[in-house]
Structure 1
Amino acid sequence: MLRDLRAHKGRLAMMLAAIVLGVGFMVATWVVSDSTARTAGGGAARTDVAICAQALEPESGFTPAERDRLAALPGVTRTNGVRLGYAALVAADGKLAGVWPDRAGTGWDDSQRFVLADGRAPRAGELALGEQVAAAAGLTVGDTARVILADGSSVRPVVVGLFTYRPLGAEPIPSLAFAGDESAVLLGDRFDRVELATASAADETRLALQVKSIVDGEREVRTGAELTAERERMVADNARSVREVMLVFAAVALVAGMFVIANTFTMLVAQRTRQFALLRAVGASARQVRVAVLTEAAVIGVLGSTVGAVLGVLLGIGALAAFRPEGTTVAYTVSPFGIAAGYLAGVLVTVVSAYGSARRGAAVAPVAALRTDAALPRRALLSRAIVGGVLVVGGVAAVAATSGVDLDNTGRFVSMGGAIAVWLGLVVLAPFLAMAALRPLATLVGWRGGPTAKLAVRNALRDPRRTAATASALTVGLGLVCGFAVVGESFANVAGATTRDQVPAGTTVVQPALDGSRLGPEVVTKVRATPGVAAAVALTRAPVEWAAGDRPLGTTSMSPVDPAAFERVLTMPVVEGSGDLRRGAVVLRGNADLNRLDVGDTLTLTVAPGVTRRVPIVGLYRGWEGQPGIFLDEALVPAEHRGVLEAVYAAGSGARAGLDAAFADRPDILVTDRDGLVERLVKGFELVLAVIYAMFGAALVIAVFGVVNTLALSVLERTREIGVLRALGAGRTFVRRVVRRESIVITCYGGALGLLVGIGVGAVMQHVMLLQPLWPVGVPVPMVAIGVVGMVLVGVLAAVWPARRASRADILAAVATE
């Protein structure tokens, strides 16, 4: 076995590359997720908190009197009130520092929350910054910083310290800290939580009961140990979520590698047919031959996994070092479990991929040793055709049955499962599709093509299984990229069309500069008071529990608005009923279809704890799932429960100029228009797609290795044929051209199938994700064009080494090859 491995080390190089990349991606995933978890978890847990009473909403914070009442309880040895408030830090370049300003400010105290890294604690007129935030903002000890507060005013304290923060539970990590007494003026006098310390565990139990009897409303009481455990669980869950997402891409890379490995073993075993026959002739059993091939595969898997594990560790550390925020120290962690998982995946994938070839090698008859043209026994393609046909037909039926836009969660799973079944079916049917596509091409080339083109197409058609297996990795990689590109194009179309339907041209939009942040109520007041603004409507969003009669519907999002301003500024695309919010609620059409609701039905909405409203549905509006599920009159919802203020829309001929001037000194607020709103929506989604494309790039790289490997082994198989061609007068250029064109034929076939599959699966994905019709669908023409050109280039580049090797073959030695 070792002799065989050494003899074929050149042929195995590309197969090893496929294993290395797949395993490397998997191990890197573990390094990134575990290191992120350890870094986010910080150092030692806080031990200075026995009981913590915390507000569940900012509006339900504790007053100083309530803190003092808790501090006076028997057994309390220390009390610490923690404030969190809006604080937008302006960087040295005048732009907003890249941290969310909501609850970013706090007051300094002598608890274990802060670990001073440089400088000292702040006093009045001074500020301490988190190390990471200071580095991102370009500020250091001694600089004067600008901080924008919730009411829009600014303060300019001097930076006197840098700190790291030790969070308790799931609390947000503040970016900056004012002096303790000054924070009551700048951030508000209410405390988000009150931390209590006790002298003993017995006091802790008794104190928890006392605090629970005092604390009421939207507040909860937790022990310090519970919050520490909650923090650990949250960090672990976040790391697991990151790992699970990244492992999907690693799995795709490994699947692409399976095609390469399976194809390589098929060709290697075919070239050793007489060797297996001789082994059988001298007494080796079929089982021994099969075990020998699988052992060889396992050894290759171990070698590839070893290199892949090392590469994965280096890739993970490199990725963390490259993308870590400036000033952050990363706690690099190499998980033994991640290394073990990489080895297991690498060896298992290699052995499973080689199993079919091992079975065929074991089935070689001993008499084949007497033949010079011995070949592996080939199974009929009937079973493959049946399996592939069933998958395609069943998948198409599932997609057709769920083609309506009123999909529930079950329908989404069925539709997406049907698309995946069609994809798998086409991969299984790939040899038939290769024959169906290449035979007409061979006929056409026979009429109009030259000798190199004829030979290239015939070589690709000679073994459709091998051609299909080589192209399948390209089909998978390019299909995934194209599928997500279709989703991106559809999202851009839907978001653009919906926004243009709802927001008239000339409308000015005021938003937070950072996605995920919120505006303060003073922004609405300022917008309405700005010269040139004729009318303005504030769009808020909050979760709401809803029901239809006695049928609970779960939770959706609501947007309480001023009906008069809403009608003046925005144009609600009502598809059924009326948009008059004075008479009831307007529901997103997709939400209504999903829950079997119609105009005239009465909803029961829990708009605040203990506050319910019975509201009739007066209309259904057209939108996409990222928008509020319900619009209703803001008078029905208590002001403190109207949710996050996401944007203010203003109408008026001079609104844009007036608002640009009004918020010129507010880098935390963005003033834009309808087109800018669409661009921001699409750009955020495109960033996600860019990451996805980069992740799937590993599958495409593996696919390229597969093409190179197949061509190289194909050239070895046809050594005698190439020698005969050279002997008959074909030059080296002719041979190189044949191999190059064969490569282009294979890659273009795989690329074309990948594009078609990607567009089809992408259509189903956008149907499931955005609840849009299956067709017409936005086809990303630039992506398709790039894919076509890219496949031709891949074909040319993949053929460079095999073509050069084929053209340099010794004519006499090649002709004499058996």
Structure 2
Amino acid sequence: MVRAMLRDLVAHKGRVAMTLVAITLGVAFVVATWVVSDSAAETTRGAGVREDVGVSVRIVEGAPELTGADQDRLAGIPGVASASGVVSGYAGVVRADGKLVGVRPDQAGTAWDSSDRFVLKDGKAPAPGEVAIAEAQAGPAGRGIGERARILLADGRSVDAVVAGVFAYRSLGEPDPVVAFGDPGVLGDRYAQVELSVRPGADADAIAATARGLVDHATRTVATGADLAEQARARADESARSSREGLLGFAAVALLAGMFVIANTFAMLVTQRTRQLALMRAIGATRRQVRRAVLLEAGALGFVGSTLGVAVGIGMGLLGLVVNAPEGQSISLTVTPTGILIGYAAGVLVTMVSAYTSARRAASVPPVAALRTDGSFAPRSLRARSITGLAAVAAGVVATALTLRNDLSTTERVVSMGGGIAAWLGVLLLAPALADAVLRPVGRVLSRRGGPATRLGIRNAVRDSRRTAATTSSLMVGLALVCAFATLGSSITSMLASSIRATVPATATVVQSPVDRVALGTDVLGKVKAVPGVRSVSADRYIFLKVTHNGSTSRTTLSAVEPDGVVRPEIVEGSGDVRRGAVVGENEAAMIGAKVGDQVTLTFDPVTSVTTTIIGLHKGMEGRPLFYVDVATVPAKIRDAAVTTVYATGADATAVRAGVAAAFQDRPDVVVTDREGVIKEATESFELLLSLMYALFGAAIVIAAFGVVNTLALSVMERTREIGVLRAVGAGRPLVRRAIRTESVVICAYGGVLGILVGVGFGAVMQHAMMGQSLWEFSVPYGIIAAALAGMVVVGVLAALWPARRAARTDVLAAIATA
């Protein structure tokens, strides 16, 4: 029985070719995800483990740096062989075109020493007046050994130095430096950490305990080198795990699209083999044997597709690593047995689960069906499926209606999102009934205006609403996800633009970093004030901190502004006069349970906190500061180092902008722009992320397109006799081709329109639940929608090429003779 089914599968392999492609692509995404994440973790671990550090004493972020006196005290601990201070500070390599290599948060410099931190790859260790450049930066910098390079330091200072060597860095959790100076004094005489090497036989844990007693616990951390190495490995694994989980979401969408294709294929294959299955029953095969045979057939198909998918996935992973690897940095391709086994498990299980309903249906074929010339099953009622779908849509609508207000709690946000998902699933269940309700009247209208080919194509599309729905479901899911995130992204960018326009004057000159929320340095305000024509200058200081209210502490963001400055949040309740207290985003206030008049404690670092009163609520949004306070509220040491944006105004806005640009022409880490430039910079990151998501979700649409090809091809085989009769009564090959193309376009258009409507609706729910904005204040991505509709027509035409050609070439006499 099983051998017969497998022989039939091999003999008619063309019937499952597109299904095989769908399985291959789904598994390839899973395997590629594992390859990329494992390779990234292995590359991090491959830098090597340092063995020369027994104990490391480090400063807590924002705390004062360690001094030479601290180093001397630590060096005096019994059992310590030496104590090395590690200098760290901002330093970026400037290319020949005047631009920085990389982005500012990645720029860090240190002083060269003889420790195991550095692995010299080329050249020699730098002497005073020389630098060594990190391996990943050497290529993009365009500076060879022996050439002079300009290194940008904090506050706009810069030094010229000769490139002496290229190094790789062995980190114990600290940021990898891009530059190592031969002169230890370039970055100052204070240390971010002091590394202690221990004498042979000394106990590192005991030395660490002694060191803890010599430093301030609130501003210093002490750990052994072994602990730091283990923490670094754990961070690499956690980073790999996080990226894997994110990418597996896209792989799951691709597999979901493949499930629709597989289920539809096996449903059609079982229908076409009804007489064959009945004959097997007639000669003694039991229902269990038939069901098992179909499932094993699905398993064999899944195994072949998984094998191809593993090979393709490894290639995709390697390509992704090569494309995304920084120039000059070597990559480590890591293929683990876990990734391969999960790829096989996903492919085989998804295929067998998708085919299970068809296997049960095959087992229900009675032996007497072998006597029928019509090998099809009796149509099943859509009543139960439609009622379930309507119930799911109704539950989703109710859940969304109960969470319409803007200041939602975390639980209410989850309920709102759950309602959107329930409505989405309901539409999927209603798809066959909707196909009947929508396509038949539309078909009647188009049939009156079209020719015979149009009428035939539309009738073929609506004759089996279950098959049409199954074919379009994968298209709908892929396109709905694209439109949902396009709606969310469009809403976010629209709200960002509105927020910036509401707070920044149109005539203001804006000075900021090329990277959002990066401090500019302490000298920027003074340089802007010194520009001729500047009438007023104010700054935005973006600070991450902790806020405590009623004993509950959470992380948040704060902007310290001048009371009379240009940055003025849009107030929805209370006062906006930051001299009297803090202005808080209305959604943030709801999240922490605070209201106007409540007191909150703002903790900037382990030793600095301020208590203030909430005097107003503003119409905040994610991505913008949640707290606004008077700059005088923030301690000077923090506010001076946190200037992220400077706004300047004057009588002649053009002259002011030109003057400020001239003042910073030697600062590649500073951008001078206007309000519209700020909006563009703020929205570009979202648009880039959305483009990546469109590409990943596009895999589901590609799989769905193969599903349409598969359905049409099997449908042509199923209707061989019908096509032969059409040809016999005068239908030419062009008419048959047009009919198949029309059927394909109608199917794709139906799935496309349904996907767009569901996607835009779910996108509106997403922006409401995630951003706290009104459900009705979403932005419709008309460009994406137009492109999606046009794309569905193109997919429909392309998907019909092979099936239409095959149908047109049907042998008339052989087709009529088919029983």
Q: TM-score range by the shorter chain?
A: over 0.9
Written as runs of structure 1 = structure 2, the 5 A alignment for 1:451-470 is 451-470=452-471
- 1:485 aligns with 486
Q: 2:177 aligns with which of 174, 177, 181?
A: 174
Alpha-carbon separation, structure 2, partners of 1:445 and 1:152: 68
Q: Secondary structure at the match of 2:243?
A: helix
1:602 Cα deviation after fit? 2.8
TM-score, with normalisation over the residues of structure 2? 0.97
Alpha-carbon separation, structure 2, partners of 1:173 and 1:648: 29
Change (3 A) 1:44 1:570: closer
- 2:426 aligns with 425
Which range is displaced more, 752-761 or 392-401?
392-401
- 1:164 aligns with 168
Which range is displaced more, 777-786 or 194-203?
194-203
1:201 Cα deviation after fit? 5.2
Change (3 A) 1:488 1:101: closer
Alpha-carbon separation, structure 1, partners of 2:103 and 2:762: 37
1:325 Cα deviation after fit? 1.4
- Give yes or no for contact 1:559–1:631 (8 Å, CA) kept in 2: yes
Change (3 A) 1:608 1:34: closer
Aligned residue identity for 1:192: A
- Give yes or no for contact 2:620–2:626 (8 Å, CA) kept in 1: no
- 2:398 aligns with 397
Which range is displaced more, 159-168 or 651-660?
651-660
- 2:579 aligns with 582
Alpha-carbon separation, structure 2, partners of 1:568 and 1:489: 30
Q: Would you say 1:71 and 2:75 are equivalent positions? A: yes
Written as runs of structure 1 = structure 2, the 5 A alignment for 1:609-628 is 609-628=606-625
Alpha-carbon separation, structure 2, partners of 1:151 and 1:594: 37
Q: Would you say 1:660 and 2:661 are equivalent positions? A: yes
Alpha-carbon separation, structure 2, partners of 1:425 and 1:779: 23
Written as runs of structure 1 = structure 2, the 5 A alignment for 1:93-104 is 93-100=97-104, 104=108
Alpha-carbon separation, structure 2, partners of 1:409 and 1:443: 49
Alpha-carbon separation, structure 2, partners of 1:325 and 1:425: 45
Change (3 A) 1:809 1:692: same
Q: Would you say 1:123 and 2:121 are equivalent positions? A: no
Q: Would you say 1:773 and 2:777 are equivalent positions? A: no
- 1:648 aligns with 646
Alpha-carbon separation, structure 1, partners of 2:318 and 2:430: 41
Which range is displaced more, 568-577 or 150-159?
568-577
- Give yes or no for contact 1:122–1:160 (8 Å, CA) kept in 2: yes
- Give yes or no for contact 1:135–1:327 (8 Å, CA) kept in 2: yes
- 1:740 aligns with 741
- Give yes or no for contact 1:360–1:377 (8 Å, CA) kept in 2: no
Q: Secondary structure at the match of 1:157?
A: strand
Cα shift readout 1:682-716 (whole Å, capped 9, x = no counterpart): 11110001110111111011011000000000111
- 1:602 aligns with 599
- 2:702 aligns with 701
1:446 Cα deviation after fit? 4.0
Structure 1: runs of 5 or more not aligned: none
Q: Would you say 1:198 and 2:195 are equivalent positions? A: no
Q: Would you say 1:84 and 2:82 are equivalent positions? A: no
Q: Secondary structure at the match of 2:203?
A: helix
Q: Secondary structure at the match of 1:156?
A: strand
Q: Secondary structure at the match of 1:623?
A: coil
Aligned residue identity for 1:782: G
- 1:531 aligns with 532
- Give yes or no for contact 2:92–2:179 (8 Å, CA) kept in 1: no
- Give yes or no for contact 1:102–1:517 (8 Å, CA) kept in 2: no
- 2:19 aligns with 15
Cα shift readout 1:550-572 (whole Å, capped 9, x = no counterpart): 35252322222332xxx232333
Aligned residue identity for 1:194: V
Identity percentage of aligned residues: 54
Aligned residue identity for 1:649: Y
Cα shift readout 1:97-124 (whole Å, capped 9, x = no counterpart): 1143666110000000000000001111
Written as runs of structure 1 = structure 2, the 5 A alignment for 1:260-409 is 260-409=261-410
Alpha-carbon separation, structure 1, partners of 2:508 and 2:257: 49
- 1:105 aligns with 109
Alpha-carbon separation, structure 2, partners of 1:103 and 1:437: 58
- 1:46 aligns with 50
Q: Would you say 1:187 and 2:187 are equivalent positions? A: yes
Which range is displaced more, 590-599 or 23-32?
590-599
Alpha-carbon separation, structure 2, partners of 1:438 and 1:69: 83
- 1:30 aligns with 34
Alpha-carbon separation, structure 2, partners of 1:630 and 1:568: 16
Cα shift readout 1:438-477 (whole Å, capped 9, x = no counterpart): 1111221343332111111111111000000001111011
Aligned residue identity for 2:759: G
Alpha-carbon separation, structure 1, partners of 2:409 and 2:197: 50
Aligned residue identity for 2:559: S
Change (3 A) 1:516 1:7: farther
Which range is displaced more, 429-438 or 588-597?
588-597
Cα shift readout 1:326-378 (whole Å, capped 9, x = no counterpart): 11110110011000000000000100110111111111111111111132254
1:222 Cα deviation after fit? 0.6
Q: Secondary structure at the match of 1:568?
A: coil
1:391 Cα deviation after fit? 1.4
Change (3 A) 1:639 1:568: closer
Alpha-carbon separation, structure 1, partners of 2:120 and 2:258: 50
Cα shift readout 1:727-749 (whole Å, capped 9, x = no counterpart): 11110000000000000000000
Q: Secondary structure at the match of 1:671?
A: strand
Q: Secondary structure at the match of 2:213?
A: helix
- 2:209 aligns with 209
Written as runs of structure 1 = structure 2, the 5 A alignment for 1:762-801 is 762-801=763-802
Aligned residue identity for 2:528: V
Alpha-carbon separation, structure 2, partners of 1:259 and 1:472: 7
- Give yes or no for contact 2:432–2:466 (8 Å, CA) kept in 1: yes
- Give yes or no for contact 2:431–2:469 (8 Å, CA) kept in 1: yes
- Give yes or no for contact 1:102–1:518 (8 Å, CA) kept in 2: no
1:607 Cα deviation after fit? 4.3
- Give yes or no for contact 2:62–2:605 (8 Å, CA) kept in 1: no
Aligned residue identity for 2:577: D
1:541 Cα deviation after fit? 2.5
- Give yes or no for contact 2:136–2:329 (8 Å, CA) kept in 1: yes
- Give yes or no for contact 2:582–2:615 (8 Å, CA) kept in 1: yes
Aligned residue identity for 1:176: V
Equivalent residue pairs, number: 810
- Give yes or no for contact 1:363–1:377 (8 Å, CA) kept in 2: no
- Give yes or no for contact 1:441–1:457 (8 Å, CA) kept in 2: no
- 1:679 aligns with 680
Structure 2: runs of 5 or more not aligned: none
Alpha-carbon separation, structure 2, partners of 1:101 and 1:351: 48
CA RMSD for the aligned pairs? Answer: 1.6
Alpha-carbon separation, structure 2, partners of 1:518 and 1:801: 59
TM-score, with normalisation over the residues of structure 1? 0.97
